[in-house]
Each structure stands twice: as C-alpha cells, then as structure tokens.
Amino acid sequence: MRRVAIALALLAIAGGCREKKANPNNPNEANKVEVRAVRVYFESPNMLLIAEPRNLPLPENPAAAIPAVLRELTKGPSNANLARLLPADTVVRAAYMLPDGTAFVDLGGPTLTAGWGTGTHEELMAVYSLVQTVTANFAEAKRVRVLVNGEPAETLGGHIWLGKSLQPMPLLVEPGSR
C-alpha cells in the first residue's frame, strides 16, 4: 500500500512538472476561447475566390487561431456550388505569426509531399486561398509565407513561387468577398 502511495506521489510530481509555466510570449499558449465569425475562401463558379462564412471557437490569441481557421479551409466548402482548392489530404501542420506581420503556414499531407500534379489556375487559387483566408481574418497578418513539411518550398505544384512571402491579390477575389 505504501508503494502505491509512493507511486501516486510520483505521478502527482510528474503531472505537476508537465504543467508548463504560462509564457505570455508563446503564441500557441492556449488562452481564452470564444466563437468568432470567420471567412474561408474557395473557388466560385466564376473561378475567383469567394468567402464562405463559418463560426468557429477560436483562441483569443490570433496566432493561435490561424491554424484552426486554416484547418477549416482544408475541410472544403459546404456550399456545393463552390470548389475545394487545396488537395483533400492537405494537413495544416502549424501556423504562426512573427511580429513583422508575416504569417507562416506549414502544410503537409501525402499529395503536397509527393508533388502535386496540377495546373496553374488551381495552384494559383489554392495558394491565394491560404493568403486570403489568413489576411482577411487576422488584421495583424500582412503577408503569408508557405512552408511544406516544415521546410521552405519552391512551389506546391511546379508553378507559383513560394520563395517570398505572398500578399493578398484582390484581383483573384470576387468583389463581394474582398
């Protein structure tokens, strides 16, 4: 019985140690969650980006909320008239912000890892659906830098250069969704 007590005491110590001290500088620190209206972008029948509204429980910290919004984007549209842009198996591995307004989006998944065989239009719109979704929902984000599997990537599918941060391109967005 005594040994059980010791074991439980050790468990309590381990559990106590696991609790990290809250760090105000860590954007991924879980904080207050509230339901927010966000807009995620898909392709319209006019072949432009169009916003689909969603209500999501999001952490208050915008940097912590970006991955949650992007994961909603990868689920695809609920409106059948809109088209999914990123491959269905895309995984948002991480997303975070730096103080200069650069949002990093780290993608993965079998298709993007193997090399996405697609055309210019689809790739262009997929990349800018990320850019538009991040910058439209988070005022602090001025530009988006896309990584694949944690590393800088040349392109997602052989066309659109990811070697620089990308700013929103309003010409690709339906006028009502800009």
Partner 1 sequence: MKRFILLTSLALLAAASIVLGQATVQSTTPATLRTQSGDRQIAIAHQNGQTYFSAEDVVAGLGGSVAADAHGYRVTINNNVAAFGPDSRFGVVRDDLIEMPAAPVVIDNHPFVTIQFFQGFLAKTADLDVVWDERAKLMQIRPLQHTVVGVQVSVANVQGISKIVFTLSQSSGYAIVKEQGGYTIRFAAQIRPPFNEQAYEDPNVAKITFSGTDARIQLTSPDVAGDAYKLDNPYRVVLDVRKVAPSPNAPVLPQSNKPVEQPGIHTIVIDPGHGGKDIGASGPGGLLEKDATLAIANKLAASLATKLGARVILTREDDSVVSLDQRTGVANQYKADLFLSVHMNAAPVKGAHGSEVYFLSLEASDELAKKAAESENASSSGHTPSTQGDLKLILWDLAQQEYLAESSRFAQSIQEEMNALAGIQNRGVKQAPFKVLVGATMPAALVEVAFISNPDEEAKIKNEQFQNTVVDALTRAVQRYKTDYETRIGIAQPAPPAPAAPPATTTTTTTARTGT
The Cα–Cα gap between 70 and 113 comes to 18
Contact yes or no for 172/48 (Cβ under 8 A): yes
Q: How far is the CB of 171 from partner 1 (least distance, A)?
A: 8
Helix ranges (DSSP H) in 26-151: 62-74, 110-114, 120-137
Length of the chain: 178
Chain Cα centroid distance, residue 52: 16
Using CB under 8 A as the binding rule, the residues of this chain from 78 to 97 that contact partner 1 are: 83-85, 94, 96-97
Window 3-42: contact mask with partner 1 (x via CB under 8 A)? xx-xx--xx-xx--xx-x--xxxxxx--------------
Rg, the chain, Cα only: 19
Is the distance from CB of 135 to CB of 71 less than 8 angstroms?
no
Question: Could you tell me the CA-to-CA distances from 42 to 36, 80, 153 in Å, in that order?
Answer: 19, 11, 23
Choose the stretch contacting partner 1; rule: CB under 8 A; options: 33-41, 51-59, 67-75, 111-119: 111-119
Contact call for residue 173 and partner 1 (CB under 8 A): no
Applying CB under 8 A, among 38, 50, 58, 63 the residue interacting with partner 1 is 63
Residues lying near partner 1 in the complex (CB under 8 A) are found at: 3-4, 6-7, 10-11, 13-14, 17-18, 20, 23-28, 43, 45, 47, 61-63, 83-85, 94, 96-100, 102, 104, 115, 117-122, 124-125, 140, 143, 145, 147, 152, 154-155, 158-161, 163-167, 169
